[in-house]
Chain A
Amino acid sequence: SQTIHQWPATLVQPVGSPLSLECTVEGTSNPNLYWYRQAAGRGLQLLFYSVGIGQISSEVPQNLSASRPQDRQFILSSKKLLLSDSGFYLCAWSVGWGISYGYTFGSGTRLTVV
């Protein structure tokens, strides 16, 4: 069966520090991968998606970047965090575009920038 792992679960970082969040998927090949951000009690904002190794599309210009060094690994990074980067970060994967069966989400990383 397929599983998705995100870590860490929680993170407190000072302003100006770097960030690296990792997401891995098991049990499937060539998934589409996605990074979302969710502000407290709010909706889901798509940040990046990837259809293959090294292929990254950005939906919202910001202080973050993403990379896909391996087929089932998706990394969200920042060189210098801002207070506004605080939020709940969710990784997700899908078979194809996920129209029929939707996305499967990880359990999220809660980032607090102080």
Chain B
Amino acid sequence: GQQLNQSPQSMFIQEGEDVSMNCTSSSIFNTWLWYKQDPGEGPVLLIALYKAGELTSNGRLTAQFGTTRKDSFLNISASIPSDVGIYFCAGPHNNAGNMLTFGGGTRLMVKP
């Protein structure tokens, strides 16, 4: 089955720094989704990408749909303490497009 590999697994950064994380798939995706999970809460959708090469921003967050269609990237600029949480990428579960599969998550910790 398809797998999504996220890296890094965790990051501990200083407030104000930029953050980059990525997600790779074993097969081609037509959609990439990025979620953020605040501590003790359910994940919330941040950005959705539908086209290879697409670059979409949501405030200080920018996500890109990789041109190979097997990867995606999420960048956070000028991190703040409330960016703390787990970031998940997600994509279609299989080539038929049923359901979503989630990456293992990147845990972000921000030091004030």
Residue ranges of A at the interface with B (Cβ–Cβ < 8 Å): 34, 41-44, 46, 49, 90, 92, 97-108, 110
Pull 14 A–B residue pairs with CB atoms less than 8 Å apart, ordered by A. A43-B88, A43-B102, A44-B88, A97-B92, A97-B97, A97-B99, A97-B100, A100-B50, A102-B33, A103-B45, A103-B100, A104-B45, A107-B41, A108-B40
Give the residues in chain A near B40, CB-CB below 8 Å.
Answer: 108, 110
A110 to B35, CA, bound (A): 20
Query: Smallest CB-CB separation from A88: which chain B residue?
Result: B40
Query: For chain A, what secondary structure do more than half of its interface residues adopt (helix, strand, loop), or is it mixed?
Result: loop
B90 within 8 A of A: yes
The listed residue (A49, A100, A102) touching B90 by CB distance below 8 A is: A102
Total interface residues on B, using CB and 8 Å? 25
